[in-house]
Structures are given as structure tokens and as C-alpha cells.
Amino acid sequence: MSSLSERPQQAVVGLPLPHESAALHVTGQALYTDDFVVRTKDVLHAWPVQSPHTHARITDLRVKPAYDVPGVVRVLTGDDVPGVNDAGVKHDEPLFPTEAMFHGHAICWVLAESLEAARLGAAAVEVDYEPLDSLVTVREAIAAGSFQGTGRHLARGDVEAAFASAAYVFDGEFEFAGQEHFYLETHSALSLVDENGQIFVQSSTQHPSETQEIVAHVLGVPSHEVTVQCLRMGGGFGGKEMQPHGFAAIAALGATLTGRPVRLRLNRTQDITMSGKRHGFHSAWRAGFDDDGHLIALDATLTADGGWSLDLSEPVLARAMCHIDNSYRIPNVRVDGRIAKTNKTSQTAFRGFGGPQGMIVVEDILGRCAPMLGYDGTELRRRNLYRVGDTTPYGQPVRHADRLESCWTQVSGNGDVVRRRAEIEAFNATHPHTKRALAMTPVKFGISFNLTAFNQAGALVHVYKDGSVLINHGGTEMGQGLHTKMLQVAATTLGLPLARVRLAPTRTDKVPNTSATAASSGADLNGAAIKNACEQIRDRLAQVAGGKLGIGPHDVRFVEGQVSGLSGDSLSWDELVHTAYHQRVQLWAAGFYRTEGLHWDANAMRGEPFKYFAYGVAAAEVEVDGFSGAYTLRRVDIVHDVGDSLSPLIDIGQIEGGFVQGTGWLTLEDLRWDESDGPHRGRLATQAASTYKLPSFSEMPAEFNVNLLEKAHEDGAVYGSKAVGEPPLMLAFAVREALRQAAAAFGPAGTSVDLASPATPEAVYWALDRARSSVGSEPLETSGV
Amino acid sequence: MSTTTTQAPSITVNGEQTTIGDVAVHTTVLDWLRDRGLTGAKEGCAEGECGACSVLVARPGTDSPTEWTAVNACLLPVASLDGQEVITSEGLGTPADLHPVQQELAVRGGSQCGYCTPGFVCSMAAEFYRSTRTTANGHSDHEHGPNGFDLHALSGNLCRCTGYRPIRDAAYALGEPALNDALAARRSAPPPPPAATAIAVDGAEFLRPAGLPEVLDLLAECPEAQIVAGSTDVGVEVNLRGVRKPLIVAVDRLTELREFSFGPDEIRIGAALTLSELERLLAGRVPLLAHLFPQFASRLIRNGATIGGNLGTASPIGDTPPALLALDASLVLSSRRGERIVPLADYFTGYRETLKAPDELIRTIVVPLPLEPVTAFHKIAKRRFDDISSVAVGYAVDVADGVVRRARIGLGGVAATPLRAVATEQALIGKPWTERTVREAAAVMAAEGTPMDDHRASSSYRSAMLGQSLLRFYAEGVGA
């Protein structure tokens, strides 16, 4: 067992604690970026001028009429940028564009005394556009050869030989939709400049260091003149990894130019029409199976719809390609990946980061092919699961592959799957207008940033003279419970009750050069950095305690605020800290962590990019109405591998929430752009909560059983835990596959069902209608007259 | 700025009387609260869909004098709460002294990012205090807790983090309010009476006249006045489309618009009754409407939205018109010129256009009795709770001796207006109630209207759903 993963007795990690801010959340006292506005004097409000064209050159921009609107103070345009006019890191995202690249693109920003004045000011700005041809769909981009960034190629084995030897070869195309993050808190930033010219930005950002960098380069100042703080976010899900930078930069630019605090908060419509989303993809595939249902060859071309600029599309594509195997052994693989450039929002990170888009391709293949191979989908999946000793197509050993089987067996048992499938069969035989189905799907998800450099983190831990502890780290809190876990890690390492440790807001002037809180790695990286800082302090204190207790420092134990040796003599933590201060011992430390053992050749798409894999299995039962395609989620059983949990209540919350969010992506959430040639071409038609529907109470499973895989120690991570943020999202494939099977149950046995994604009631209706029409119409049973 | 009022308009917020002050008349309750430092309530969507802005208002109850009623603060103009009592998440409890609802949510992992949480707290508190909720009955299913908690109380609150399970568990774990609970005690006294409000700021006015004659006078003189009741539609126009009407006239508290009587020949429903109030008053006596209510938007919206408002906006995808068309309802339209009765079937004349003259107000909805024996309401939508119809169908049919005697079918979502499926009705009336008749009529029904393609559904799905709806109506049995 590694020292990183070893967990002491009476550890605070592992206790099921509620979120550290729960009492603030429920009483409305928890503060979010925009809540600081009323607490700040003389704030100016920002409003964008958005393009009504999907692609157009800006031929003239007249801001003067805005100044005639009472309350308007300043209009920000490209001419105001002292540094680099760019909101991203790829230098392809002008903060103030000269060409509108998508419908809703912000052209300039109006600052005013009130939000109302800013809105009216923005409406008064006159922009002349010369409309240009646009590409709205990924198919249009493919046809036009419109791509961006670097395409990738991943290969193993001999695909063509395998197809030649395969008993069955199928091919198909599958296009699936993206997803809007719909964090409840929209993008927001509040910036002010202090007496010394220091620029402070309160930002709802998952990546404060990068927000700081972008603000600095837009303003043309060094990073040390900019401080970014994030108390907490009202949800992030990847949507605040790259996207907040430009908004923070607008607020900071406005603050430096006016000398007044500037608040920028997007309303929902602005947020949906301006910020990036999960990438939709197009895939074309060929799959070969042997006589025993083993997937022996897969050839696929993945085209990610990147939108108008690169953003994170390249790493998203790489992760999609690295997850096309999901949990299945595929000896011969060839995957080509490329990024389409379209006139849409610039698509970005979203929980799973390409993983879901890779996995859905193989899950769709298995779901469609199973009936043609004579297998039930669940049985076909189990046959193809990775076994101990297998490696992924990019050459990484699948360590702990046996956990897939363990999760599978436990879900089967907990969910009473054999009995329920028999019940479902009986139900379906007697219900011509309603069909049920149960499907099981696995998840294997690689943990670490694909880009090796991001796998580092820092922390700053202070022990004050009175023994109280303050921790800082580079991770951000977006609801995932990172801060709760970090408090538990610090208390565990220092052997203190939780109440002695307090956490200060994430700020770039405390811990610099941090990575985004993303890739599910927040607890792994920051937890290890905090542990490292606490260990430095603890080791110094052990020297002091050893001297007082007359024992060697290695024999000193820190447990629940008492410091003792084997002899039974002890002193209190507070007493020890007091003594150490007077001995002039440093009571604070900076901690650092970098993940060891990673290597990745991005060009060859080979290596070991992941520290470990997180595993899980879900079983979902649905009921589908044959008249409408409407469905309900009757029951879900999950067993998921989070290692030895740092915080079980938090982890179960992540699994449940991720699962429902994944179910939303796959079944309900329906991004619709106007793809017509009409006047609104390229406009997002679903730009509000009333048209873009998130899962509500009616979509949660009626019965929802989530269990953590037991005895799941992970040797390579802090206190034996595993990451949890993203992997459970992909457990939702079970719902989609159950819907496919229920639709198939309206047709004759062995019907292969092609199901659109998202599988809305309409999509399910067309699927079941096709299945049903292959047998002719059933007599209507009636209970009436 | 200048303000002219009869007396300084004010609201009692968390027990403290607070002057509304010199704010624009379109200012929402949410913005007003937040400007006063009460930032617990959040804006998540600004259109009454997410519930992050939910607050409690003391409103008239049907089973106790006052009910703590959860509403969307993002939709209501603050002027409309003049004289009223409001409770926010901050007023329910503090971190050191949590309200029972807050306690259950906090310890069970009911908050993750916490942004939606204050809204959930208020919606859940409203159900906690519902005077007809009882822990005694013990009946539970997946939409009702053993403590009588109706999950539909949370149908207008969205959470993007938790997956809802811990929130449901918190809701179902709630007990009865404590004996010394001040908000529980408040229910036994009447709510504040409606204030006669007149606010004018920067040339725009918000008026709440004391009686119907004054409203009709205003409409006669100023037909372009914006009538507002629950503001669930107007509020969206204000927030999302920047609509700023110079004159807003509130009618939701007028006693003349809040009548209710049942039988013997008709049901009379005041136009300003909210959907929630009507649901309680009808108490299941009109099965078609009982079936409709839980599918109409969310509890938060139903607590504000009025039945008159749903007809006044004349949206082709409003949920009540298909049902009321099937029930053969009529409208009483009032103006200074007098009253007239208009059959609902004649009322809709075009896209959001009606027979109602600019100076007229919907006063009463009249439903004739007896009701047809067989009724149903089918709503096709992406989401079961709180969604807008792709297609909605109301049925009222009488089958005697195996023959269809009468059939009225109301449709929504398939044309520029709600409409009666007249051709389908003709294909059924006088025919034997058999699968053959139904299949033939379903083919007719699938061709009713002129459904369009949009983001909610394709036109082909809408047409298919019309035919399928009739098949389902038959398959589910007429039970005559």
C-alpha cells in the first residue's frame, strides 16, 4: 500500500458528511458571484450586443446612439483592448470579433448604471452586417470539408484481416446531439480595481488560473496584477472550464476603463446562446463479430461538431477516441477523429469530456447488433467485458478489470435482475400497448487529464498559534463537494476533529498556476497536495512532540487532537502548536502533487494517459407507452467504484446526479438549431428553460438504488479513493438501451431498433412504430363496453 | 422620478414591513428582494421554469384562512404584492437555527451547488405547511410520501446536481409543524386583504383598482392597458422580451372575478381563480379537469396562473382550452357596455386573437352540467412534469347502448388556435363504439388541424399523436 493511499485509524475521510456549505445553502446565506453586487458600491452593469446573423462580416459599428440612452456609461469595443483581443488560449477566439461566427455572438458590450439602461443601450448600438454563407450541421461541415485543429488516428491490430475473418460485419452511421450544461447559475463576473491598480475578479470559474491569464493578456498586464477568486459556483459541469474567461475579461476591461466595479451576469438566454456545450458528433462505423458474439473489429470515424472555434475540442476528441472501447475488449481497432468547424457556439468541456461521445458509439453498435446476432443486449455486453490482463486499444493495461465483473454480479444480484426479466417478459406478453425492458451497461472511465502537464496541484495550509487550521487549495467548488473532501483530508492528515479546520476561498494569489477543476481530478490532485502540506507540518510537529514525550518522531501519533506515543503519554494539539511556535518551527506549508507514472504520445495516440480507471455498472428498467412513445424510469440499480470513498454521502450524490444528468442527455435534452434556409438559420431554437427541458422530478427513477463497490482501495490515489465526478454520467446508457429494447418489444423477436439520440418520446415513438409496423397492427384490447 | 400613491406601498418581508420604494413598475419581486440584500432567492431562468426564485406568500386558503403559497418571484411585479406578506429562505431559518425543511435537506445531501436550494426550501415549506397535508394517512406511492407530501409541490423546481433522490427523501421525512411554529399559527388568521394600489414611476403606472367597475372604466378609457393576474405570462414578456407597458392593471384579487358555484345546471368559475384554487374548489368533481391540473405547468405556476389568464392569452398551446372545449364551456365577457356570453368554441379567432374586445375582461367561465360520462385529457410533451404540450386533447363522450350519443373533442397544439375536432366528432356520433369505428375516426383525427414542425415535435408526430390519442382513449375504456 502506498503512503499516499494508506488510511489511518479513526480517519475523518470516509465519514458520510453533508456538504460543508449545506447550512448556508438551505438558508440562502451561501454567496455566489452575483450576490456580491448588492454588497458592492457603484457597480456598472454589462449587456452584450449579439449578432442576429449566423455568419456575417461586420462592416460598421456605431456605438454613439448607445451613449444617448440615459445611464449608459461606456461601450466596450475591440478598440479598447490594450492587450490581446482573445478570450481563449488557442488565439482563435477574438473577444471582440470583426466577423460574427454564430447566431448570438457578442460583438460589443454596453456598461450602464442599471441593467435596464445597459439593455436599452445595447439595443441602440447600430451594427452593419454583410451576411456570409454558414455551416450549421456537422454533415454540412463534412460535405464542405470544414475542419479545425488536428485530426487523430488510433489503431491496433489488423482491422481488415479481422473483418475478413468475422462471422458478421455490420455498418452504420449515427449522429447524436450535444447537451447544454444548464448550471443553475449562469456565467457571471464582478471586477474591481484597487488603489494600487490591482485587478480583482470575482468569477464563476472552474479554472481561476486560466481566467487570470486571459484577463491579464487582454489587459496587457502581467499575471501578478490580476487576482481571480471563486467562492463557489452554482454548478459548472465543465461549462465553466474555458467559457468564463472572456466574460471575466470584459468585466475587468470595463473596471480598468471606468474605475468602477463592473458586473457581468448573463441571463439564461444569453448564456445558452453564447456559451459552448457538449459536442454533438457524427460517427460512421463498421463492426465485426465472431460466432460467439465477440466484437473482434471496429472501424470508426468520429467527427466532433466543434462549433466556431477550437476551445477544448482537441482533448475532447482524444478522450472520445480513447473511450470508444468503453469496457469492452476489441482486439482490432481503427478510429479516425476530426473536428468540424461550424457556425455554432464553440463547444467545450462537459462532464465526461468526450468519454460519453466515444462510449455511445460502441453502446449503439452493441444495442443495434445484438438482435441480429441472436443475443440479448445485456448478454452481449457481458460477453465482451474486459478481463484481467487485457489492454486498451491505445496500449494501457486495464488494471482491476475484474471490478467490472464484480460490479456486474452485484448489480445483477441487488437488482434481482433474473426474476425481474422474467416478470417483464410476462408483462409484455399481456400488455399490447405498454412494454417494459431492463438493460445493463458498464462504464470504464480513465482518470487523469490526457494532457500530462495538467496533472499537478498546489495547496497552502496554515496552522495558527491557537491550533486552528486554515487550508487553501487550487480546486474550485461547484457543488461536487470538493471542499468537504478537502477538509476531511486535512483533518485526517493532521489527526484533528473536522471543526478545527477551516477552508478559505479559492484565489489565484494563494495557490498559483493551478489546473482546472475538471477531469474528475479535483479531489485526487488537490487532496494529495493538501495531504503533502499537512504532512510537512505534521512531521515538523512530530519532532517537537518527540522531544516533549521523549520518543522518536516516527512514533508520534496524531489522533483526534491528541498527540501521543506508544507509552501512553500525550499532549494536546493546541499545546504542541504553542510549543512549536515558541521553538520557532514553521507552522505553515505549501503542498504540491504531481501524478506519477503517466505518459502519452498524443500524435501516435499511444501510452498510459490515465492513473487508473473508474468502473461501474447500471441496470435500468423502463416502461414505454405504445401510443405516444412516452416512458417512465421504473427502477435503477447501480454499483460504482469510487475506490475507498473519501466521503460517501458526497460520492453517492455525485453518482445519482451524474446518472440523471446523463439520462437527460440521452433521453430528454434536445438542442435544436434552425437548420433551415429561412431567416433564422443557425439560431438556437431551444434557448430557454421552457424549450430546453432538463430532467425534473418526473424523470428520476421511481426506485433508485446506488451502492459503492466495497473493498475498492485504489493504491495510487489519496487515502485509497477514486475520482467520481464524471464516470457515473455514462451509467445512463442503461436507460437508452432499455428504451431500445422496450421499443423492440413492440415488434417480432429479434427486431433491431435504430434509436435517435436524444431518445425523446417522439424518437421512441418512431422507433417502436417501425418495430410494430413490421408485424402489422395488434387488435386493440379494451376494458370498456 | 416621482411616485404618487394613496399610501406608501409596502410588503411585510420575513416579518418586517418594507416600503417598496421608488422602483420601476415592471420590477420583479425577485430583483426587488435581491436589491435589498436578500440574495437567497436566485434567478435561474427568469421565466418561471426553474423555481430558484421561489418565495412564500400568505394567500387565501380553501381549508384554512391562510395558506403559505409558493410562487415564482421572478414573474411577479413587486407592486402586485403591496400590503402582502412574504417569507424567503432567509426568513425560514438561519444556519444556527434551521427550519425543519432546511434541516432535512441539509443533512440528507439535498444540496450540492446550492443555487437551486433556497427555491426548493420555499416550495417544500409551502407543502410542509399545507393545511390538508396529513401524516396520518400513511398512503404513499412514488409521487406521495407517507407524510402526505405531494411531490408535485416540487414540480416547478429544477436541480441540475442531485438527481432529486435526496430531495425527495427530505420531503418525505418531514413531520408536522411544531406547536409553537409561528408560520403554522399564521394560517388560522386571514391573509392581508387586497390593497388598492396605485404606483406611478417614470411615466408608467401600476394600478390595482378596488372593484370591477373601476377596472372596466380603465379598460374603456385605456384599452391598451396590460391586464395582469398571476403574471405568469406577462412576467415572461417583461423578463425575456423586454416588454414595458405604460399601464398595468392588476385584477387577480377582485372579488367579482373570484366567484365559484357548482350546480345544479352549471359550474361558474371566476376568471381570477388560480389553477391551484380551482383544483381545491372542484375537489375532483370534474374528472376531466382533475386529470388536467397536475399536467398544467408546475405547482409554482398553478399557484399564480389563473384560468382566465390561460384563456386571455389565447395561446394555441394553452392546456385549459382543449379541456374546456370538450366541456362545452362558455365565457362571460364584461365591459362597461355590459356583459355577453360567448361559447368557447367561437372565442378563438386566430393566432392569439379572440372575439374579446379590447375593453372587455373575461369575468367567468361557465361549464354546463351534467357532465358527459366519459372524459379524458391527453397531453403529449417531452417531460411529464412542467412542460408545454406538443399536442393536447380533451374528450367528453357519451356512449349509451354501445352507440356514441355525443362526442366533443378539444385540440391544442395542432393549429393557430385551440379547436374542436369537428370532423372526428362527426365520424363518431351515432356510430357503434367499436374498434372499427375508432380506427376510422382515428384516421380522420390524424388529419385534423394543420400541425407544424418545431423544436417540441415534428408535424408528423403531432398528427400521429392525434390518431393515437383516440386509439388510447378507446383502449383505456369508456367505462360507461
Average pLDDT, chain B: 95
Whether residues A614 and A758 share a domain: the answer is: yes
Task: Find the domain containing A499 and state its range.
Answer: 22-30+456-594
Confidence at residue B480, expressed as pLDDT on a 0 to 100 scale: 36
Q: Nearest residue of A to residue B470 by CA position?
A: A627
Give chain B positions within 8 Å (CB) of A182: 160
Catalytic residue among A185, A623, A714, A726: A726
Contacting B residues, span 330-349, partner chain A, CB-CB under 8 Å: none
Residues B348 and B321: beta-carbon distance below 8 Å: yes
Whether residues A482 and A530 share a domain: the answer is: yes
A132 and B CB contact within 8 Å: no
Whether residues A658 and A710 share a domain: the answer is: yes
Mutate to test the interface with B, among A265, A434, A697, A698 (most CBs of B within 10 A): A697
Contacting B residues, span 441-470, partner chain A, CB-CB under 8 Å: 454-458, 461, 464-465, 468-469
**End-to-end C-alpha distance for chain A, whole angstroms:** 72
Confidence at residue B6, expressed as pLDDT on a 0 to 100 scale: 52
**Contact call for A32 and B92, based on CB within 8 A:** no
Confidence at residue A581, expressed as pLDDT on a 0 to 100 scale: 98
Whether residues A536 and A626 share a domain: the answer is: no
pLDDT, tens digit, 9 for 90 and up, residues B89-104: 999 999 999 999 999 9
B10-13 β-sheet, strand order: B16-19, B10-13, B85-87, B54-60, B66-72
Whether residues A760 and A661 share a domain: the answer is: yes
Confidence at residue A89, expressed as pLDDT on a 0 to 100 scale: 87
**Contact call for A31 and B113, based on CB within 8 A:** no
**Contact call for B158 and A22, based on CB within 8 A:** no
CA–CA distance from A90 to each of A222, A242, A312, A508 (Å)?
Answer: 19, 11, 9, 22
Residue at A254 is within a domain: no
Q: What is the mean pLDDT of residues B32-59?
A: 98
Q: What is the pTM of this model?
A: 0.97
Domain count, chain A: 2
**Contact call for A630 and B38, based on CB within 8 A:** no
A710 flagged as catalytic: no
B220 CB-near residues (< 8 Å, 6+ apart): B335, B336, B359
**CA–CA separation, A85 vs A66, rounded Å?**
22
Whether residues A635 and A690 share a domain: the answer is: yes
Residue A132 DSSP label: -
Shortest CA gap B168–chain A (Å): 8
Residue A524 DSSP label: H
Shortest CA gap B209–chain A (Å): 28
Q: What is the mean pLDDT of residues B185-214?
A: 96
Whether residues A442 and A579 share a domain: the answer is: no
CA–CA distance from B442 to each of A685, B324, B403, B433, B445 (Å)?
Answer: 31, 21, 17, 13, 5
* Site of grid cell 391544442: B412
Residue at A421 is within a domain: yes
Burial of A346 (0-12, 13-18, 19+ CB in 10 A): buried
Does position B242 have pLDDT exceeding 60, yes or no? yes
Q: Nearest residue of A to residue B295 by CA position?
A: A698
Q: Which of B118, B164, B464 is facing A28, going by the closest CB pair?
A: B118
A689 and B CB contact within 8 Å: yes
Q: Which domains does chain B have, with CATH numbers?
A: 1-193 (3.10.20.30), 373-480 (3.30.390.50)
Q: Which of A28, A268, A478 is facing B89, going by the closest CB pair?
A: A28
Strands B391-400, B403-412: pairing is antiparallel
Residues A362 and A298: beta-carbon distance below 8 Å: yes
**Contact call for B456 and A649, based on CB within 8 A:** no
Residue at A518 is within a domain: yes
Does position B256 have pLDDT exceeding 50, yes or no? yes
Give chain A positions within 8 Å (CB) of B383: 668, 693, 695-696, 698-699
Residue at A628 is within a domain: yes
Residue at A144 is within a domain: no
Shortest CA gap B37–chain A (Å): 6
CA–CA distance from A323 to each of A276, A352, A353, A365, A377 (Å)?
Answer: 22, 10, 10, 14, 19
Point out the residues of chain A with pLDDT beneath 50: 776-779, 781-785
pLDDT, tens digit, 9 for 90 and up, residues B266-291: 999 999 999 999 999 999 999 999 99
Give chain B positions within 8 Å (CB) of A780: 435, 438-439, 471, 474-475
Residue at A703 is within a domain: yes
Residues A269 and A688: beta-carbon distance below 8 Å: yes
Give chain B positions within 8 Å (CB) of A656: 162-163, 165-166
Residue at A280 is within a domain: no
Residue at A436 is within a domain: yes
**Contact call for B382 and A686, based on CB within 8 A:** no
Q: What are phi and psi of B410, to 5 degrees?
A: -100, 140
B140 and A CB contact within 8 Å: no
Q: How many CB atoms lie within 10 A of CB A171?
A: 13
Per the document, the length of chain A is 785
SS3 label, residue A72: strand
Distance of CA A125 to the CA centre of its chain: 37
**Contact call for A691 and B433, based on CB within 8 A:** no
Give chain B positions within 8 Å (CB) of A119: 242
Contacting B residues, span 387-426, partner chain A, CB-CB under 8 Å: 387-388, 390, 399, 402
Residue B153 DSSP label: G
CA dihedral (A585, A587, A588, A593) positive or negative: positive
pLDDT, tens digit, 9 for 90 and up, residues B328-387: 999 999 999 999 999 999 999 999 999 999 999 999 999 999 999 999 999 999 998 888
Whether residues A537 and A490 share a domain: the answer is: yes
* Site of grid cell 518551527: A585
Task: Give the CATH number for residue A550.
Answer: 3.30.365.10
Whether residues A625 and A756 share a domain: the answer is: yes
Q: Which of A535, A567, A594 is the last residue of a domain?
A: A594
Shortest CA gap B301–chain A (Å): 13
Helix (H) or strand (E) holding A407: helix A402-414
Whether residues A443 and A473 share a domain: the answer is: no
Whether residues A523 and A540 share a domain: the answer is: yes
Ranges assigned E (strand) in A641-715: 703-708
Q: Which of A594, A629, A658 is the last residue of a domain?
A: A594
Confidence tier at B479 by pLDDT (50, 70, 90): very low
pLDDT, tens digit, 9 for 90 and up, residues A282-292: 999 999 999 99
Nearest CA among A295, A443, A440 for reference residue A358: A443
pLDDT, tens digit, 9 for 90 and up, residues B420-434: 999 999 999 999 999
Max CA separation in chain B (angstroms): 72
Give chain A positions within 8 Å (CB) of B90: 27-29
Helix (H) or strand (E) holding A751: none
Whether residues A636 and A731 share a domain: the answer is: yes
Confidence at residue A783, expressed as pLDDT on a 0 to 100 scale: 41
B385 CB-near residues (< 8 Å, 6+ apart): A696, A697, A698, B152, B155, B298
A499 CB-near residues (< 8 Å, 6+ apart): none
**CA–CA separation, B250 vs B215, rounded Å?**
9
Q: Which of A536, A570, A594 is the last residue of a domain?
A: A594
